[in-house]
Amino acid sequence: MEKKKKSILDTFSEKAVIKQQVFTNTFNTFRMLKSVLKNLAEEYNKELGIKNNKPLVKYKNRGKFQASFKFGSEMLIFSMHTNVYEFDRSHSIWKTQYAKKGKLCTFSGIINIYNFLSDSLKYNRTGDLGYLVGRIFINNKNHYFVEGKRQMGYLYKDFGSKVIDKEALHQVIESSLEYVLEFDLLVPQYDKIKIITVDHVQERNQTAMLKTGKRLGFKYNSDDIQGEEAIYTGH
């Protein structure tokens, strides 16, 4: 019984230390990401100029674990999860030599990247849809990789060879922008909106009457022809 207790406590202690370091690294990465977003907004506005006394690109710090980047009608929401995760055994990460050899190196923090229409937040259209376009994983050694939709990045190469830095985050942000700018708002299918309720008319303004999303009525993975994910490390 003592041997079993020692094994339990040793495992708990080891994982607790790893997970705490993962959280710290992810939080520090998120703070660095906010700095990159702020600088990028300033750079873009300098290039694009100001129209009607309003910048076309806006960065907003939305609290400890969230930030937004408005680019015209597009809104990217960057959201850090406070928990630490392990990958399920079907994930492609287990095919890498780094994951096979490194003890507990796959415990990761996650920063999710979502795409919304900027008007959805501006007019508080709570029923509107947003889509996950990518997520950044960071481990206890600050090694990282990114999962994203196929058009967003490059094929996965070598998780474990590089640590996350501002240059890598800059690439992730611009790859996300390139991806979302390829898609414009689609006209909703007629049958999806031909009936509305009295509540929609009487209690909500015109901007909130219809649930809106870029791919409303269409499968989200319709843009993926040869697989749902691409993984890259910024090479």
- Domain spans of the chain, in order of start: 2-232
Greater model confidence, 2 or 221: 2
Q: Which residues face 54 on adjacent strands?
A: 51
- CA 103, 105, 108: angle at the middle one, nearest 5? 145
Could you give the CA distance from residue 81 to residue 39 in angstroms, rounded to a whole number? 23
Are the CB atoms for 141 and 106 separated by under 8 Å? no
pLDDT band for 235, please (50, 70, 90 cuts).
very low
Q: What is the pTM of this model?
A: 0.80
Most confident of 81-95, 119-133, 142-156, 183-197: 81-95
Q: Over pLDDT 70: what percentage of the chain?
A: 73
Are the CB atoms for 57 and 69 separated by under 8 Å? yes
Q: How many helices (H) and strands (E) does the chain have?
A: 6, 9
